[in-house]
Amino acid sequence: MSKQIATLSAITICILLLTGCGVPKQKIPVSTNPLGATVYADGTKVCTTPCAVSLDKQSDHLLTIVKDGYKQEDLEITRQFMPDEAIRDGIISGVLTGGDPKEIGQEVAKEVDEQERSGEAYELRPDIVTITLTPKK
């Protein structure tokens, strides 16, 4: 029994370390043809291509890509609800608290709710940005 408790404790600690604290973020690689375009995220300059932008998963974002001699490109990054990880975490948590099917169901609902509120249950799309810039005439 104590070996099971130790194993479950180790799993819980691993989950806590992997989920971390704060606003969940997602890195989105951005590349352009030609290279060297400036990328703005929600109006703030963040990098020059090729690069990756780190965006919070709690909201949609607007990427603006500019380069002298080329037309500006605007791309909306939207979040999509992806409850799979929250459901998995809820099942693990429910098993850790006793394994009763009713408790597991409650833990799943609780985990999905928590991850939806924090933004963890969302993924940003597109998750890779590749744009061919159009020369100005």
Instruction: Supply the pLDDT for residue 99.
Output: 65
The answer to pTM > 0.85 is no
Residue 57 — φ and ψ, nearest 5°? -90, 10
Instruction: Supply the pLDDT for residue 18.
Output: 46
Residue 104 — φ and ψ, nearest 5°? -65, -45
Q: Which amino acid is at 123?
A: E
Helix ranges (H only) for the chain are 2-19, 84-96, 101-118
Q: Is residue 16 part of a domain?
A: no
Q: Is residue 67 part of a domain?
A: yes
Residue 37 belongs to a domain with what CATH number? 2.60.40
Q: Parallel, antiparallel, or unpaired: how do β-strands 129-132 and 25-33 relate?
A: parallel
Q: Is residue 104 part of a domain?
A: yes
56's tokens:
């919070």
Instruction: Supply the pLDDT for residue 89.
Output: 72
Q: How far, CA to CA in Å, does 11 sit from each of 23, 57, 62, 114, 121?
A: 23, 25, 37, 19, 20
Enclosing domain of residue 49 = 23-79+126-137
Q: Which amino acid is at 97?
A: T
Write out the chain's pLDDT in tens, 137 residues.
455 544 544 454 444 444 445 789 999 999 999 999 999 999 999 999 999 999 999 899 999 999 999 999 999 999 988 777 767 777 777 667 666 677 777 777 777 777 777 777 789 999 999 999 999 98
